[in-house]
Amino acid sequence: MASALLRLFIRALEACRVGGRYRQKTYAMGAPRVNLDKALALAAKLEDDEIARKLSLGK
């Protein structure tokens, strides 16, 4: 993952030096398979549960 990100960054820098513009490819992801209306609330709940677990372990 980090190496792919580094390669992407280097290609962007090289494109800027040459004078061309770097363009990121986009891909269609399709329709979501789950309801995303409450995704933020779910993420917050999971994070809260993880913090409570770590606190109970004394970390």
Distance CA 17, CA 22 (A): 10
Q: Which regions in the chain score pLDDT beneath 70?
A: 1, 17-20
- pTM equals 0.42
| Domains held by the chain: number | 1
Range of the domain at 50: 2-25+34-57
Give the model's pLDDT for residue 9: 85
3-class state of residue 24 by DSSP = coil
Give the model's pLDDT for residue 26: 93
Give the model's pLDDT for residue 19: 63
* 3 state SS for 1-59: CHHHHHHHHHHHHHHHHHCCCCCCCCCCCCCCCCCCCCHHHHHHHHHHHHHHHHHHHCC
Give the model's pLDDT for residue 18: 64
14 closest CA partner among 3, 6, 2, 26: 6
